[in-house]
Amino acid sequence: MRLAHLWDQSKCIGCGACIAACNAANYKSTDKPNPTWGGLQTNIKRIMFDLKEKPYLLLVQCQHCENAPCVAVCPTGASYIDKDGLVKINPSLCIGCKYCMTACPYGMRWLEPVLGLPEKCMGEECQTRIKNGLQPVCVTVCPAGARAFGDLDDPKSEINKRLKSGRVIKLLEYKGTKPKFFVVVGR
């Protein structure tokens, strides 16, 4: 099994429901800031580009790379890839060295301010949901259907259907990380 995320930029309405849901589910609706990215404590980063003619929105989260630099540099094994292909952090093994934060070419790890340990997608609530056969909260709450999550090894999965029906890119693919976060940029 190789679980992956898809975000359809061509369907996204920029409402931020996924960001708010991640904050509510994984960080108990805290209004404390994410000191690394600014804004709410969430695992989804909103990036806006001002392209003069038209603004461009990019919602990014952990790429769950098959060749994850964050895992390769972790001196304690706290960062690892689980049996489903998701990149995770075991907080009981993490020493807070921040090597994983530095190694991630996507900048998708952030520092939780109280414990001083890195955070990332998937949060605890989303991990529990997946274990129980449910979708991550960001997928569930999206009113535009711009998100999908599923098994790349299952040809009948929703994510595979959507990968075949649109123009898809992977971010920074040239870095050799083999990301499993897909962005649909058109039909």
103 domain-assigned: no
104 domain-assigned: no
Nearest CA among 4, 1, 21, 9 for reference residue 158 = 4
Nearest CA among 82, 89, 116, 93 for reference residue 104 = 89
Number of domains in the chain: 1
83 domain-assigned: no
Q: For the chain, what is the mean pLDDT?
A: 94
Q: Which domain holds residue 27?
A: 4-65+120-186
Q: Is there a contact between 186 and 10 (Cβ–Cβ < 8 Å)?
A: yes
169 domain-assigned: yes
Mean pLDDT of 9-33: 94
Supply angle C-alpha 81, 84, 86, rounded to 5: 45
SS3 at position 3: strand
Supply angle C-alpha 164, 57, 181, rounded to 5: 40
Angle between helices 124-131 and 17-27 (to 10 degrees): 90
Kindly tell me if the per-residue pLDDT of 54 is higher than 80.
Answer: no
The pLDDT, as a whole number, for residue 89 is: 97
108 domain-assigned: no
pLDDT single digits (tens) 168-180: 999 999 999 999 9
Question: In the structure, what pLDDT confidence band is assigned to residue 49 with cuts at 50, 70 and 90?
Answer: confident
Mean pLDDT of 154-160: 95
Helix (H) or strand (E) holding 85: none
Share of the chain above pLDDT 70, in %: 100
90 domain-assigned: no
72 domain-assigned: no
Identify the weakest region by mean pLDDT among 26-40, 56-70, 79-93, 94-108. Answer: 26-40
Kindly tell me if the per-residue pLDDT of 134 is higher than 90.
Answer: yes
The pLDDT, as a whole number, for residue 55 is: 75
The pLDDT, as a whole number, for residue 90 is: 97
145 domain-assigned: yes
Kindly tell me if the per-residue pLDDT of 51 is higher than 90.
Answer: no
Q: In this structure, what CATH number is given to the domain that contains residue 150? A: 3.30.70.20
